[in-house]
Amino acid sequence: MSDLQEEGRHAINSPMSPASADIHPEDTLLEENEERTMIDPTSKDDPKFKELVKVLIDWINDVLVEERIIVKQLEEDLYDGQVLQKLLEKLAGCKLNVAEVTQSEIGQKQKLQTVLEAVHGLLRPHGWALQWTVDSIHGKNLVAILHLLVSLAMHFRAPIRLPEHVSVQVVVVRKREGLLHSSHVTEELTTTTEMMMGRFERDAFDTLFDHAPDKLSVVKKSLITFVNKHLNKLNLEVTELETQFADGVYLVLLTGLLEDYFVPLHNFYLTPDSFDQKVHNVAFAFELMLDGGLKTPKARPEDVVNLDLKSTLRVLYNLFTKYKDLE
């Protein structure tokens, strides 16, 4: 065992590997042509990676609070399919035909197979890339588990804010001709919200943020001038787009002003005090825009509520292009 462990450490620390990684004895017990992956410790220490893990754990625990399930460590608590089963049943409002408790490895993998087939049935029609398998989840592959959870959170529009552009260095250990070899690859766990959802093509705002950030202030100034021209009629004024439109109130009022009608106050929350109420307001504003003949905004209500500037700009520019000539 010690010889195998030493061989594993040598493979990881060899010149072909840019960073070292902790090798557990079981990670070195590979069959010929078998491979195993693990996250480089430096990636685990990255603040954005830690934030992603914490956000997902908190989300799962919130969803399953009535089940009295508490997840503390993703790879240890999700690998056998039990928590994943409960999570999917809660999110999708369904009941899976699986055994409640399975102790054997075969039984656990059978449960995982059923759970993941249900997940795939939900995600495949929407073009999601399925970057996990029964073996990777049951093998406690944290990268695969994170890919799965991020996809579920985005598909079910979880009321959370996932950190963007989270990537990790993954050490891949392979056994070839009796020797262990390692390599490093980069796994991207989250990109931007739009790209994760696979719903939107890149547009002018992607180009603006990526390649012309100096022009961003000009766009913001133009939109602030536009919205204040109409909100001033109600003695309201905007100075910060992402924060002042985040609760949806100004967005509802602005849409009503542009269409020249009064929006009944019982249709939205004038003083929202929760995430759900804010999402309701923004979603209601989107409905008003559709009723006015506008295209569906290239943003989610949750993104606007979560102070995503790009999403807020897209929504306001949608209004601007139609109503900019209003006197």
Quickly tell me which residue has 């100004």 as its tokens.
250
Q: Which of 183, 191, 190 is closest to 38 using CA atoms?
A: 183
Mean pLDDT for the stretch of residues 73-90? 93
Polymer length of the chain: 327
Q: Which of 200, 185, 113 is closest to 154 using CA atoms?
A: 200
Give 191's pLDDT tier (boundaries 50, 70, 90). low
Domains of the chain (ranges; CATH) run: 39-165+191-195 (1.10.418.10), 202-322 (1.10.418.10)
What is the tens place of the pLDDT at every residue in 157-180?
Answer: 788 888 878 888 888 777 777 777
**Is 187:47 a contact under the CB 8 Å cutoff?**
no
Q: Which amino acid is at 293?
A: G
Task: Decide which of 30 and 147 is more confident.
Answer: 147
pTM: 0.55
Please give the mean pLDDT across all residues of the chain: 81
Mean pLDDT for the stretch of residues 91-118? 87
**Is 192:311 a contact under the CB 8 Å cutoff?**
no
Three-state DSSP class for 214? helix
Task: Decide which of 137 and 130 is more confident.
Answer: 137
CA 314 remoteness from chain centre: 19
Q: What percent of the chain has pLDDT over 70?
A: 80
Task: Decide which of 312 and 300 is more confident.
Answer: 312
